[in-house]
Amino acid sequence: MIERDIALIDELRNRPAEESCIEFKKDNTNPEVIGKLCSALSNKARIEGLDSAYLLWGIEDETHQISGTIFNPETKKVSNQLFQLWLAQRLKPSIPFSFRTVEHPDGKVVLLEIPATTSAPVEFNGTSYIRIGSATPKLSDYPEHFQKLIDNMRPYTWEQGVAKSFTTEEDVLQLIDYPSYFSLTGQRLPDNRTGIFEHLQADRLISKDISGRWNINNIGALLFATNLNKFESSLARKAVRFIAYDGDHRASTVIHRRDDIKGYAAGFEALVSYINGLLPRNEHIGAAFREVQPLFPELAIRELIANALIHQDLTIRGAGPQIELFRDRIEITNPGHPLVQVDRMIDLPPRSRNEMLASLMRRMGICEEQGSGLDKVIIHVELYQLPAPKFQADENSMQVILYGPRTFADMTSAERVRACYQHAVITYLSGSRMKNLSLCKRFGIKTKNAAQASQVIKTALNQEKIRVADPGHPRAGYIPWWA
């Protein structure tokens, strides 16, 4: 964006000479010097609480006057290798630096924008550097700077990153569904633009850029975008995707598909209503229902979608939450390995990578104020007498599978044991203990066939999913293995 780059160059020139995260040069293009400066400035920017540092060619260091430069980062080579590739290979961890050649009205300027490090001190050729005054020493020689860098990296989150920069007020109001923000957070919509921007900025949905423009932060776009496709593809790919099949596997014909374009909060109710409207209806004969109901509990769908949105790993590029509806089940998948052990998700407090996102969604009533809501999911599944949900994780994703109605006789041994364990957890959390009779009710087993429940309990005990609550009194019931 040429206009923003010109404005940025002028603002950087007007800053005090002692700014430690800005470096001016004329034509010094020594690759080793640039590499060390990238490391030093990235580390220094994080220490100073800045998003980026800058290295500029074509500007006099003392006067900040534009003199022009012959430096061309696009064609420069180091040992027959393109300079930018050479530099990227030597910076660890990788940082998305950006060289931009700007035809400023006063002359040619090359601008290098260096993002502040987020995960570890940036090294050049295996060594971390730091900027102190005009010097670029090794970071290891300054332990106090190293400690401050580590401290400042801890609170950094993806949510605070910039989704769109140098945005006019008019564009912010078009790109962000601000009426939904005020409605969902229970605040009165201000009658003037200043009030609207003060609230959006207070919740860090937007932040000030230069020249009176604004940044839309990642969390602002992700929650309240009117259209995620109007942002970079890396953000747009985090939109929720829904697919419905006419069979039991992915080779079946796709009968419905929806790629949500609205932000999570702005589009949540419409998404849940859309999915619930497509759910097959079935006559349940469980303990609580004797009427036609959706194949899956609507509350369970709502809670599991909210959990997928909140607990995903937003730093994984090119992936977002996905919901797949099959004839016999629904699968809800989100990017990122869970932070809580899979079989402890029902009882342990949730741990979220995305605290700002979780906090705002709690305020808006989209997710539980306390807990993960999974206990409610299990309770409703039991009321419908459905097979137990399956929670499974791999290195890069988390998935929850809700199954449609199936009789006890049709359940596999693994499904019965999983239901037994989850029932033990729910009864334990309610201050009670699982017993043979309560498990019979959960499965819809008649009392005369109680031996079937006893066999499931025996198998669960052997697999150490549950244990006897009081070994001295075997009739006292059963509790989860971890209790």
User: Is residue 318 in some structural domain?
Assistant: yes
* 232/215 Cα distance (integer angstroms): 13
Q: Tell me, rounded to whole angstroms, the distance of Cα 110 from its chain centroid.
A: 34
Residue 257's CATH number? 3.30.565.60
Domain total for the chain? 4
Is the whole model's pTM more than 0.75, yes or no?
yes
What pLDDT score does 353 carry? 81
Q: Dump pLDDT digits (tens) for 91-125.
A: 999 999 999 999 999 999 999 999 999 889 999 99
pLDDT in tens, 190-242: 999 999 999 999 999 999 999 999 999 999 999 999 999 999 999 999 999 99
Domain span including residue 100: 2-156
Best CA proximity match to 306, nearest among 321, 324, 319: 321
Residue 371 has pLDDT above 80, yes or no: no
List CB contacts of 111: < 8 A, sequence separation 6 or more: 5, 8, 9, 54, 55, 56, 99, 100, 101, 102
- Give the model's confidence band at 133: pLDDT under 50 very low, under 70 low, under 90 confident, else very high: confident
Asked if 171 and 254 sit in the same domain, the reply is no
pLDDT digits (tens, 9 = 90+) for 148-180: 998 888 666 789 889 999 999 999 999 999 999
Does residue 236 sit within a domain?
A: no
Three-state helix/strand/coil letters over 414-459:
HHHHHHHHHHHHHHHHCCCCECHHHHHHHHCCCHHHHHHHHHHHHH
Closest CA to 434 of 410, 467, 411, 405: 467
Q: Which tens digit of pLDDT belongs to each residue from 266-296?
A: 999 999 999 999 988 765 555 555 556 678 8
Place of tokens 């550097």: 129
Statement to judge: residues 303 and 337 lie in one domain: yes
Domain-located, residue 191: yes
Inter-CA distances, 62 with 65, 71, 248, 303, 412, Å? 8, 19, 70, 59, 77
Q: Are residues 262 and 146 in the same domain?
A: no
Residue reference for tokens 């990578």: 353
Average pLDDT, the chain: 92
Give domain status of residue 256, yes or no.
yes
> DSSP alpha helices (H): ranges in 122-242?
143-153, 169-175, 178-184, 193-202, 218-224, 233-236
pLDDT at 19: 78
